[in-house]
């Protein structure tokens, strides 16, 4: 038996935001969550402001979201949202602002206080007394798929790692996909985010929790990415290509909403936290060694992955990933051994199609990074 739940409405195409004001406006006072530059440089923030101003909807722009949002910062942002009296949130940006919006939506109406039933870490329970604020998402990178997932990844400095919370209550109500918001991305950022989407599709497809529905969607997402491997390599993108890459990213998000990810992500978090390697690039460093081991237990699925991407074999896959996510950071064996102690505890280890142990993870780290 399998289930499929994806409540987000996706609006895809040219001028998706300005042509659909009724889908963007979910209340009477808007809290706009974005980074310092993502909303402004992409043009998405100005489009959102125009829609809100035309409808005379008061709004507050919160543009202090950092890369890898930290949990206590989300509580601080929620205080601003609460004081403004916002009754809905519009998230603009890559995975960090979108993930941050989900946490802010929870904390705004469920204020965390020590010594009460709801503390800062209660967000990881996934069940909340008060329903989070409704949200819309406008992704400005094509990678995380956060606009269609119930997940939010937060940084925990105390534990020196990243951790995700999940709840069906933090799905965005509407998501707007328009390639004009990603067309100006720096080439390496576009590459990193596309590799993140690729990893979502591959990890979902090879996951123990995969279903016929997620398999079908994952292969379609990989086919879309496969059409544009050359553009990712050269950095030459049209608006239409960017919209297609956004769509592939959303498909990846839909897939992992059903299946979750695998150790590629939990192992990659360590590289991001301790070495400041961008999330998608970190996953790219590990995905080949993961696929090698998948090939031992699910060779047909690996064949379908390569076919969908338009690649002949795993060596071609390795060569391509290495070119677009070059490794520049130096690691030591002792660092990798320490990473394993944390990554092995992740829940998604149980979703891998092959047995996981500290020894296996260390082998993958060493083969990928040393």
- pLDDT at residue 90, as a whole number: 98
The tokens for 283 are 């996953």
The domain limits of the chain are 9-180, 186-369
Rounded-to-integer distance, Cα 174 and Cα 191, Å: 26
Task: List all residues 6 or more positions away from 167 whose beta carbon is below 8 Å from its beta carbon.
Answer: 106, 126, 127, 128, 132, 150
Strands 30-35 and 135-139: unpaired
Coil vs helix vs strand at 193: helix
Reported as a single tens digit per residue, the pLDDT across 124-145 is 999 999 999 999 999 999 999 9
Q: What is the pLDDT of residue 246?
A: 97
pTM of the model: 0.96
Residue 114: CB atoms within 10 A of its CB come to 6
The per-residue pLDDT for 40 is 86
Closest among 49, 55, 54, 57 to 85, alpha carbons compared: 57
CATH architecture group of domain 186-369: Up-down Bundle (1.20)
CA atoms within a 13 Å half-sphere pointing along the CA-CB vector of 141: 30
Which structure tokens are listed for 90? 């519009």
286 is written with which tokens? Answer: 């590990």
Q: What is the pLDDT of residue 2?
A: 84
Asked whether the beta carbons of 320 and 346 are under 8 A apart, the reply is no
Quick count: other Cβ atoms within 10 Å of Cβ 83?
10
Give the separation between CA 356 and CA 366, rounded to whole angstroms. Answer: 15
Which regions of the chain are under pLDDT 70? none
The Cβ of residue 104 has, within 10 Å, a number of other Cβ atoms equal to 32
Give the pairing type, strands 135-139 and 174-177: parallel
Per-residue confidence (pLDDT) for residue 115, from 0 to 100: 84
Q: Fold for domain 9-180?
A: Rossmann fold (3.40.50)
* Tokens, residue 206: 């090879």
In order, the DSSP letters of 89-109 are: EEEEESHHHHHHHHHHHHHHH
Total residue length of the chain: 370
The pLDDT of residue 9 is 98
């Amino acid at each position: 038996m399998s289930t499929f739940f994806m409540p987000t409405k996706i609006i895809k195409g040219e001028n998706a935001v300005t042509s659909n004001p009724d889908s963007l406006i979910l209340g009477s006072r808007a809290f706009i969550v974005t980074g310092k530059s993502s909303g402004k440089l992409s043009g998405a923030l100005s489009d959102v402001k125009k829609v809100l101003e035309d409808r005379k909807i008061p709004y507050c722009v919160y543009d202090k979201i950092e890369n890898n949002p930290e949990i206590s910062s989300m509580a601080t942002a929620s205080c601003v949202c609460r004081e403004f009296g916002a009754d809905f949130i519009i998230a603009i940006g890559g995975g960090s602002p979108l993930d941050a919006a989900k946490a802010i939506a929870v904390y705004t109406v469920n204020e965390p206080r020590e010594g009460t039933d709801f503390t800062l870490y209660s967000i990881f329970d996934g069940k909340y007394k008060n329903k989070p604020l409704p949200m819309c998402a406008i992704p400005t990178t094509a990678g995380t798929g956060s606009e269609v997932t119930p997940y939010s990844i937060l940084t925990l400095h105390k534990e020196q790692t990243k951790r995700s919370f999940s709840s069906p209550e933090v799905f965005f109500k509407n998501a707007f996909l328009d390639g004009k918001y990603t067309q100006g991305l720096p080439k390496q950022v576009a590459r990193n985010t596309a590799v993140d989407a690729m990893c979502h599709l591959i990890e979902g497809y090879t996951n123990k929790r995969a279903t016929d529905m997620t398999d079908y969607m994952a292969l379609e997402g990989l086919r879309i990415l496969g059409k544009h491997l050359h553009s990712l390599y050269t950095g030459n993108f049209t608006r239409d290509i960017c919209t297609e890459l956004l769509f592939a990213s959303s498909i990846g998000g839909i897939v992992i909403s059903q299946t979750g990810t695998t150790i590629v992500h939990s192992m990659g978090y360590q590289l991001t936290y301790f070495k400041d390697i961008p999330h998608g690039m970190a996953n790219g460093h590990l995905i080949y060694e993961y696929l090698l081991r998948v090939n031992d237990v699910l060779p047909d699925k690996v064949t379908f992955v390569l076919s969908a991407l338009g690649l002949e074999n795993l060596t071609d896959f390795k060569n391509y990933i290495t070119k677009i996510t070059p490794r520049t950071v130096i690691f030591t064996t002792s660092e990798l051994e320490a990473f394993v102690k944390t990554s092995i505890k992740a829940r998604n280890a149980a979703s891998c199609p092959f047995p996981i142990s500290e020894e296996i993870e260390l082998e993958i780290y060493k083969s990928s990074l040393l």
